Structure 1
């Protein structure tokens, strides 16, 4: 089944095509909430990080209903079978976010995480730890009315200043090379994620 959704951000419409596989379902209300969250994050990144988006952002969302098929798909792209989803693509327009069918709260977290990667891909190239850090910060955000609340602790901001060399805004918009962190491993990236 293929569904299309349109939203509007500063850059223009967001076009989302949803493909459900193996009995997975995505009800209209959940789809609208996911679409609105993507709009909120695009607004945040546009305002705070100055990322310029193309006139229309296009994203394909694939939702797997069969855990075994999802596991095989994850392993085929080099990921562990326990991941909740992944994003692949970039400026060439082949953007796709892939998820396993789970309860809505877990799907929302995975959606926010992977669509953060989608939106950041339109900024300048960033090291994995910064990309993952932004995704985790957005994943743990919460909506209050029309606002998206993203909170970080002073301790985590201190780690960012020490290891990353400045604010997220400066790192994404600036011309200086990114400072890579030692041991580019998944665990290191996720530890550093909380600095954002």
Structure 2
């Protein structure tokens, strides 16, 4: 059972996902929380701490797993009958993947002499390789969903409703997030959009 929960920032999507988990734990399921965030700065560390504090008294006995990149392998290992897994969230995982792929490319040693045409060609190649790495990761993730046992609740941001952002990487993120959500929604048993704390069932209709 795959349940995709979509929503914007501060829409209440995480809280709704946790409410879904609580329904299953009431039936005797054990619960796993998979966090994809990385505390790379003070602001994100504060956000993570608030999420952690909120889970201490939510009535759910969580097993916590932190995984910023190898989400597919972790879900395959954790998923089983009688277990509900909450993943929060897919768009942070996407961010981690895009940045990690770009970093791997950028870390490669550069030639000692550069010409303008060489730089433009190399930059295009790097972007293509980073995107190819992400597409392979996404394909493996989407293909694995049908094999997962138990219940998996996937939280993801709906980010395509605003203006087109400045910057190539930002625009790529918005595009890839939209395509990721579409691919997961096509396979999910249930899809819910949360707006202002209110859930709207998109699938099944």
TM-score (norm 2): 0.29
Structure number with the bigger relative contact order (C-alpha 8 A, sep ≥ 6) is 2
TM-score (norm 1): 0.30
Higher helix share: 2
